[in-house]
Homo-oligomer: A and B are copies of this chain.
Amino acid sequence: MNTVKDYIKTHKERFLEELIQLLKIPSISADSAFEKDVLLTADVIKSSLEEAGCDRVEICDTPGYPIVYAEKIISNDLPTVLVYGHYDVQPPDPLELWTSPPFEPVIKPTEVHPEGAIFARGSCDDKGQMYMHVKAFEYMIKEDKLPCNVKFMIEGEEEVGSESLAWFVPRNREKLANDVILISDTGMIANDIPSITTGLRGLSYVEVEVTGPNRDLHSGLYGGAVANPINILTKMIASLHDENNYITIPGFYDNVENLSKEERAEMAKAPFSLEAYKEALDIDSVYGEKGYTTNERNSIRPTLDVNGIWGGYTGEGAKTVIASKAYAKISMRLVPNQDWEGITQLFKTHFEVIAPKGVKVKVTPHHGGQGYVTPINTIAYKAASKAYKQTFGKTPIPQRSGGSIPIVSLFEKELESKTILMGFGLNSDAIHSPNEHFGVWNYLKGIETIPWFYKYFTELKT
């Protein structure tokens, strides 16, 4: 199968150009102003799957954004790989921090990507990683190397909670039947340290609103005499962590999986430089739950972060006002066994209980998902490991990620199949941040590695 390298060499410029065109469409699912762009992106994905050689390609309607489904069935006796990805992207703001516009992709070299990286919102998460699968599939079709059946399910609401996918999957169990689900929406440790993600955190995302007086007030005439909703909100949020940075919501830790000393020792073997980590973020110290290392804090431990806060006067200059309302968006990353709906309810109850007299509190759940841990003794893991060994020359390290792909647990429940997470991005690729990028080397390495997974998975399975 050396031909995959040749195929990439021949078509490299086109592979990049196609991805760049895809990245130009601002498919921001969180903002309804971009509805047309999100829908257009689904159409582009559909066409690209048709051109790559799928037999049946559909835009499947849902209560929200459509799901692009495609398949190539070559034999009922062969295993089936279901590829999942998403064509929506995170909002790009704050825009002023981008060095080039988020939807005008440019290729620039960086320290870790000397061969160049594509800078654009969605380049890594997930258009770039999803498109690797389309191009790997194209190679297998054109060069007659496809060893098994393939199905694609590309959704448009991953960044806002995959609600329509949760509606779609149980209604299409037969259509989606598969032997393994393959996803590239995670990262690896470094270009010379390949890794496979074996755990994901769950998520509970809520929005809170604190209302004080029924109108904005003059802070001189009323200051000190009424509950200021911003002051109260800061007090309430601050109280959600104690002095050791444990989360104070009653019952929050009840189902948290506690790893054994041995497991933690195993995790600690993954290459990690605290100095390099701090330097990359320009911070003088890390910060987090007492008793855990940085890599534990962002993978096996649950968190509570404010993702946005606003209230009162935020313009230029000064305004002496007491706002009527203050707001925050708060997300909790959860670990396996923490049920996201239960945690959301615990948060809601607690936040309402701690509200002092003089304010009213509203908690609105946005979305969520369960955490997930995948075993490393499966055929799928072994096939992936061999594929990386083939193309990177090294056996990949199994690694838990702090991120969430809430839909993975749903797949396990509804489709009764395991997911394998073959991510080719890096943490430094700034996904969800300004200047998101994806290494050209990584993009092409992904396209090169994926066909080997198909080959080994089919061999081991049959």
Residue from B161, B223, B327 within 8 A of A305 (CB atoms): B223
A312 within 8 A of B: yes
Residue from B218, B310, B320, B402 within 8 A of A223 (CB atoms): B402
A291 within 8 A of B: no
Q: Do B322 and A305 have beta carbons less than 8 Å apart?
A: yes
Give min CB distance, A280 to chain B, whole Å. 8
Residues of B within 8 A of A315 (CB): 30-31, 91, 93
A187 nearest in chain B by CB position: B221
Q: Do A31 and B316 have beta carbons less than 8 Å apart?
A: yes
How many positions in chain A have a CB within 8 Å of any CB in the partner chain?
103
Q: A287-B356, A402-B220, A431-B218 are in contact. Are A308 and B313 (CB under 8 A)?
A: yes
Give min CB distance, A323 to chain B, whole Å. 7
Q: A221-B187, A288-B226, A309-B309 are in contact. Are A329 and B318 (CB under 8 A)?
A: yes
A435 within 8 A of B: yes
Residue from B238, B298, B358 within 8 A of A221 (CB atoms): B298
Q: Which of chain A's residues 397-436 have a Cβ closer than 8 Å to chain B?
A: 401-404, 427, 430-435
Q: List 14 A-B contacts (CB under 8 A).
A: A30-B316, A30-B319, A90-B321, A218-B433, A219-B331, A224-B297, A225-B286, A225-B402, A233-B234, A234-B238, A285-B357, A286-B358, A287-B356, A308-B312
What is the interface of chain A, defined by CB distance below 8 A to chain B?
A: 29-32, 90-91, 93-94, 97, 159-161, 187, 201, 203, 205, 207, 212-228, 230-231, 233-235, 237-239, 241, 281-289, 294-295, 297-298, 301-324, 326-329, 331, 333, 356-359, 366-367, 401-404, 427, 430-435
